[in-house]
């Protein structure tokens, strides 16, 4: 199963670790450090040109998605319940 993250980016559902609202990047010292380290290791990717609304953490990358965390969580939940 796959999850569409926005633009032309699709990931395997099995790679998904977490979905966060973009505000977590600024609200938590630990999450800020995590994102900084991922950027330093070149493991971040911004999807499209639109404003980022969520962070999607996978086994190999952190994606900045223009789709809200609520919508992405609903998509992931639908995959799990089907």
Can you tell me the distance from the alpha carbon of 73 to that of 18, in angstroms, rounded to the nearest whole number? 9
Closest CA to 68 of 82, 47, 45: 47
Q: How sure is the predictor about 82, in pLDDT bands with cuts at 50, 70 and 90?
A: low
Model confidence pLDDT, tens digit, residues 1-31 = 889 999 999 999 899 999 999 998 888 899 9
66: helix, coil or strand? coil
Residues with Cβ within 8 Å of residue 79, at least 6 apart in sequence = 1, 3, 13
The domains of the chain are located at: 2-78
Q: How sure is the predictor about 75, in pLDDT bands with cuts at 50, 70 and 90?
A: confident
Quote the Cα angle for 12-17-21, to 5°: 105
Q: How sure is the predictor about 79, in pLDDT bands with cuts at 50, 70 and 90?
A: confident
């Amino acid at each position: 199963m796959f999850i569409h993250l926005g633009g032309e980016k699709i990931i395997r559902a099995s790679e998904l670790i977490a979905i966060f609202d973009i505000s977590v990047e600024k609200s938590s010292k630990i999450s800020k450090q995590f994102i900084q380290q991922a950027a330093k290791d070149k493991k971040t990717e911004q999807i499209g040109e639109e404003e980022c609304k969520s962070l999607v953490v996978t086994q190999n990358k952190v994606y900045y998605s223009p789709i809200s965390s609520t919508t992405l969580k609903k998509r992931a939940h639908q995959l799990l319940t089907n």
